[in-house]
Structure 1
Amino acid sequence: MQAQWRDAARTILALTDETGHVVIVEPGHALWASASARPDIVPFVPEQQPDPEPEDPRAAIPPLTRRQVFIALHRLGLITATEAVAAAATGTVPVALEPVFAALPEPEQTDARVTFAAFQMAYRLDPMTAMIAAAAGMTVAQIDAIWTGFAAV
């Protein structure tokens, strides 16, 4: 039978028999006195947590408001003035973006349309940002420039 401490305070002991059955023994358990005195108890080893992934620095870029997004799309020539006003007022998808939404399967298409119609803040790393940028054929650097260039508009 194997024995292993399950906590650093040595108040939880796991006893594993040859069939793999585990008995957890704590102070007050009938086996505690004999099991906790065993010389062959494997020490407690805390579970190692992997190092966090380095955060994408673009996550720190402040979001753009709905107004800033539609002004940017218009000034960059990606949507017309009429489309910018309609998108801002009613959430209407501009003609240039319609094929992107239409190509999505359901229910993702409806989810994307609702998200577009209802968003208040646009985040640089949001999947909707990536989808619209891909439709416009924009590079990562161009998208970053939009976020920094239109932040003061």
Structure 2
Amino acid sequence: MGFVERNSAGAIVGWFACEQPFASELIADDDPAVVAFLNPPLPFPSISDRQFFQQLAVQGVITQAEALSAVQTGVLPAALVAIIDGLPAEQQFSARMLLTGATTFERHHPMTDAIGAAFDWTAAQIDTLWTAAAAL
């Protein structure tokens, strides 16, 4: 048993063995919310440019030729150029530089979310891409 602190949405943000002025709710250690709080998911690893473009090809988002071209010369696949072209003008150069020059990609980078949104992917689908790419 322990005491939890919750945020305004009711999510656990702290767990304590002893009651605290801000944590007076007694809860079982095996309560699913406590278990989830005490065992957060591991952060996603960085993936290389090769892993990123290869997994996009594996999933059929870009062709194998586009994946090879992207890692050999930094030529962006048409699907990603379209995403960049849809960004505000002041963000386009940075996005092009990031995607053509990056040697690793971070799961929680804003550009990752923008790519996911452009493909109508959920966060879970982006997570699946990352997990699969990291295993390549």
TM-score category of the 2 structures, normalised to the smaller one:
0.5 to 0.7
State TM-score, norm by structure 1.
0.59
How many angstroms does 1:73 deviate by?
Answer: 0.3
Runs of 5+ consecutive residues of structure 1 not aligned to the other structure: 1-53
Q: CA RMSD in A?
A: 1.8
Q: How far apart in 1 are the matches of 2:132 and 2:58?
A: 11
Q: How far apart in 2 are the matches of 1:143 and 1:64?
A: 13
| Residue correspondence of structure 1 range 1-153 to structure 2 within 5 A | 60-153=43-136
Kindly report structure 1 stretches of 4+ aligned residues shifted beyond 4 Å.
none
Q: How far apart in 2 are the matches of 1:81 and 1:145?
A: 19
How many angstroms does 1:105 deviate by?
Answer: 2.6
Q: Over residues 54-106 of structure 1, what are the superposed CA-to-partner deviations in whole Å (9 max), with x where a residue is unaligned? A: 9xx67821111111001100000000111111111222121112221112233
Task: Note closer, same or farther for the CA distance 1:147–1:58 as it changes in structure 2 (3 Å cut).
Answer: farther
Percent sequence identity is 39
Q: How far apart in 2 are the matches of 1:108 and 1:118?
A: 15
Runs of 5+ consecutive residues of structure 2 not aligned to the other structure: 1-36
Task: Note closer, same or farther for the CA distance 1:58–1:67 as it changes in structure 2 (3 Å cut).
Answer: farther
State TM-score, norm by structure 2.
0.66
Between 104-113 and 119-128, report the one with greater CA deviation. Answer: 104-113
Greater helix content:
2
Number of aligned residue pairs: 98
